[in-house]
Structures are given as structure tokens and as C-alpha cells.
Structure 1
Amino acid sequence: MESYEIRVMPMRECNREVSREVSAVFVDGYEKDLAFLSNNREKLIEAFQKMICPDVFYFATLEGDIVGILACSNNQNRALTIDKTILRNSFGYVKGSMAFHFMKDEFNKKLSYQDDTGYIECVATTVKARGKGVSTALMSYVLENEDYHRYILEVVDTNEVAYRLYKKLGFTEFERKKEGFSKMKGFEHRIYMELYVANK
């Protein structure tokens, strides 16, 4: 099996501007979810670049390129701050308003978890990096370097690859929530998983 040199780093510790590259991985990773907004990749990257919270993002590089991202949010900071003005300016009044309506609860709502809980979200890799251990490297880095006692994440029931990865890393399922408009969204349940780690 071929091995790859994957480096992981917190975005907040990077000494160069990487928000555009992080946004590009986000847009590529969530391409299907963002298609209702626009098929213009550059426009999507530019908009989401302005809404990223660098304090909670990590990125992985392979051969010098950013190929994977992960956010470890908490009850103070989320991965993205969804901004109505940015969305309207980028995608027009109607689409921007709709996007804000759909995304604000997903990202602008404070998490109700305790201070010792990290919430894993926005995990994405580029197409060329898939199957090379990038998501595993990101998850392992966060679990080893963050100080949370409990980690929670959410995965949709159609994302079997991610579900298997999280189980392999020790996460266990603790809740399934039926999704409204599931046919339109392409999945039926949101699966919530958790992992407890010993004090470091």
C-alpha cells in the first residue's frame, strides 16, 4: 500500500493566507449541497471565503497543496458565520435570502454542548486526495491535539464511507434524526456520533 506524506495544521497557526484554498476545498466537498446557490465555483469560493472562522479550521496538505479540511467547533465558535449580506451580494437577493434561511440554523446557532465538547464539522477532501488517508489524518490530529473530553459529529445516512471511517476511529452512534424534505435533500437521517477521550 502506497503511503503519502500528509501534513495537518490549524488554520489559526498558519503564517500565510489560506482562506481561499480552504474555501475551495469546502466548495468542492459540498458541491452537490451548494448547487442550488450557483454552479459558478469561483463565485462560491469567494463568498464562503468571507464566512470561514479560522479559529476552528484545520487543513491537510499533500505535496504542498491543501487537499483536506475539518473544523472542530465548540459552544463559542462555529465553522462558518452565514452572512445574509454576503450571500445576497454574491448570489442575488432571492437566492441569497433563501441560502441564508436554509444555512443560518445549521451554522449560526450556538451549540448547546458543554465546554469540554468539540463538534466536528465541514470535513471535506479534494477529489485527487480521496482514498489517501487525508480525512483520517485530520481526525487523528484533532483528537490528539485538542483538549476536549468528548467529540460529536453528524453524518448523513447516505455517506457510508464517512460513517465507516468514524466508526473505525472509535465514534459510536447515539442518535438518528429523521430529515424533513428527505427526498429533495437525498438522505433520510442525520446520524449523530460521539467519542470520549481520556484526559490528556
Structure 2
Amino acid sequence: AKGAAITFVRESERLDFVGAVERLAGRAGITLRCTDANEQQNRRKRAELYDAVEAAVAWYHDRLLSGSDAGEARRYLRSRGFDGDDVRAYRLGWAPDAWDTLAKALKLPDQILVDAGLGFLNRNHRQTDAFRGRLLFPIFDVEGRALGFGGRILPGGDGPKYKNSAENAIYNKSKVLYGLNWAKAEIVQA
């Protein structure tokens, strides 16, 4: 039947038409090319943002697992019933309570850091992390791509209890349901 594979992937993986075509092309080893120069540039920019956020997820996750400054965060998670398997499964992270630790570690160009919602430039035009002293819950799209973070300050900390990544070219809070990437297989089977 015409379009059956695309329709199947769209429905089973909850993707739009373009996403389903891209997924099938990737599985088949086919490289898709955009004919519109603006669209090609936009796709390249989004790919850079996805890569930057993924790098941040990995870096923050490693900090939670092994950082000497993350002990209090690990204790807090244990007190809330999270064990090491949970931390690894959900790729939870720890943002150190410092101004530019992530920025220095990832060495991203200013514009990528800002556009990905990972930081900003301060008055002195120095890179500054968006999240400091927070337990981080990575936010993924239905395909499992990292989009941003939800951050929680530890009890007794200063500042708002919760903070989310700023909306940007890849993250729109109203279009993302936290955890759908993990639940989609069960939802499709139901």
C-alpha cells in the first residue's frame, strides 16, 4: 500500500511526516538533502543545538555520578527513593554551584551556548551557565533527543525552587510531554 511504511512509523513513533521520512531514511542509510537553502541552514542549526544539549546532558550526568560537589544531590535523590539505576535510566544530572563550569567544560561557541538555552553572556561578555547548584532532569522529545532541562534547587538553596530551560529553536515547553520518550512503546501497544 502506498505510504504504508511512513504511516506506520508516524503512528507507532508519534512523529510528523518529515520526522517519519527522516527516520526511515536513516534506517536505510539514505542521506536526505534539502533543496531550500534556508531550510538546510535551519536543519544544520537545529542539529548543532541538539548536539550541544546532548553534550550538556552527558556532562551534567557525569557530574552527578562522580563529582565530589554532587554528594548532597545524591543524598537528596536517595532520600526521595531514587537509586543509581534510576539516575542512569533518566540521565539525571548535577549543575555545580559555579558561574561557568559547563561553559568552560564544553567550550561551545557563544551563540550555540545561548541558542541552546545552556547559558548566556554576562555584562562582561563572558559565558555564564544557565543552571547552577541544581539537580537536573533532562527533557527529551519523543524520539529521545535531548532538548533542555528542568532543574530543581536542593532544599535550603537560594532562588526559585524550579527552573526550566528557555524556549528555543528545538525546545518548546508546550509541545513536549516529559517522559513520553520512555512511555511511547507502552502507549502504542495499549
Q: TM-score, normalised by structure 1?
A: 0.28
**Rg bigger for which structure?**
2
Say which structure is richer in helix: 2
Say which structure is richer in strand: 1
Q: TM-score, normalised by structure 2?
A: 0.30
